[in-house]
A and B are shown apart, each in its own frame.
Chain A
Amino acid sequence: MAYGLNMAKGMLTVLKHVTRPPITVQFPEETRTLSDRARTNLVWFVERCTGCSTCAQACPDGCILVETEPREDGSLLVNRYEIDFRLCMYCGLCVEACPYEAIQVGGSYTNVQTDPTMLYANKDRLIGQANEFLESHDWVYPNGQQAVRQEVHAAAERQHH
């Protein structure tokens, strides 16, 4: 008798779950909503960066490299800005340190490679990733501010001169 009762209990659980929606996220087709502070790739916005290197000093791994040179008007030209994503531990301390929110979390998290050197992002690659992000997110930064398309393009142009 007890056996039949437990079987009934089990079947009740099964029937309860039959009507529920499946929990599986069909990943490549659908994605989960990420929290604002999810540990995804860093995105660096050249138009917001002043070249102060606070991010590089805050990085515990030392995976950010900044090399600047003063312009005539006193501002800094960022010659090199490189992030080693092989080394990065996505802690977000650079994001907290940056006074202008030029480096932000919220980038791609599917950046898998067969060649590990492709995970080393130099300035051009970072600018490309930032443009890709802004274009796919309606020109809104990860922190919710609106980007101005002309400024972004002008800053990217300005880097080459």
Chain B
Amino acid sequence: MVVESDPTIPILQPGITDIESDLQNQLMVTQVEKLFSWARRSSLWPAMFGLACCAIEMIATANARYDLSRFGAEIFRASPRQADMMIVAGTVTWKMAPAVRRIYLQMAEPKWVISMGSCSNIGGPFAHGYSTLPGVNNVIPVDVYVPGCPPRPESLLSGLMLLQDVLEEERATGRKRRPEPTGDFSTMLPEGDPIRRELESLFPPYLTKDGRPRDATGAHPDDENFFSAHPELRRGGVV
């Protein structure tokens, strides 16, 4: 997918997709890193995001018997803006995949993802089906994979502890170890598929669904109602 970028539209440098990597060459941190990683791993805010039967085990983990709050991650936020950890619990269908990606993009940086259960790891029993995403790591970067169908609450707690270990090693402004998804769905979905177009619009450089670059508001000067929505941007400056 080759796209000519518009120089008037402010985007991050090529190859840099988030603010952390932009900061990497501009900040020098020493002992602050340890403080940051301690603070981050001790108060994770999970997004309330259950898709299938794994969500039942996730709820069981949050309840009194296993008590997720012992690890500082008890409050499941209903808004992704208030969350920094996502537990993808259950089968991700192709129809759900753009929503998963969008919720991930809406979460506050820095953010982490736990893939819980066989379905989100690789597709599980539905891996060869037509309707299921073969692994949630095709859509969002995943830090920790928890096997199980569904995993026991102990398994999810182990995953959370592993994530905290990963966080401890992470530099405050450094890149994460996890691989980013490529955003290439050409081998999985046919050309012109609406879900494929929507998914590709959610990957950098964040084109609109019909392949044009997006500005900060999501609107584009070619749109019909753009200038009535932004009269101050009208050429000539007089409204």
Give me the interface of A with B, judged by CB distance under 8 Å: 23-28, 31-32, 38-41, 60-61, 84-91, 109-116, 119
Q: Which residues of A contact B106 (CB under 8 A)?
A: none
Q: Which residues of B contact A60 (CB under 8 A)?
A: 125
Q: Does residue B157 face the partner (Cβ distance < 8 Å to A)?
A: yes
A119 to B146, CA, bound (A): 9
Q: Is there contact, CB below 8 Å, between A28 and B161?
A: yes
Q: Is there contact, CB below 8 Å, between B144 and A113?
A: yes
Given the interface contacts A24-B66, A25-B66, A114-B145, does A89 sit within 8 Å of B137 by beta carbon? no
Q: Is there contact, CB below 8 Å, between B158 and A24?
A: no
B149 to chain A: closest residue by CB: A89
Chain B contact residues, majority secondary structure: mixed
Q: Which residues of B contact A26 (CB under 8 A)?
A: 70
Q: Which residues of B contact A89 (CB under 8 A)?
A: 118, 124-125, 149
**Residue in contact with B154 in the complex, picked from A27, A84, A113, CB distance below 8 Å:** A27
A85 to B146, CA, bound (A): 10
A31 to B143, CA, bound (A): 25
Q: Which residues of A contact B161 (CB under 8 A)?
A: 28
Output the least CB separation between A32 and chain B (Å).
Answer: 8
Q: Is there contact, CB below 8 Å, between A116 and B145?
A: yes
Given the interface contacts A28-B161, A87-B124, does A113 sit within 8 Å of B145 by beta carbon? yes
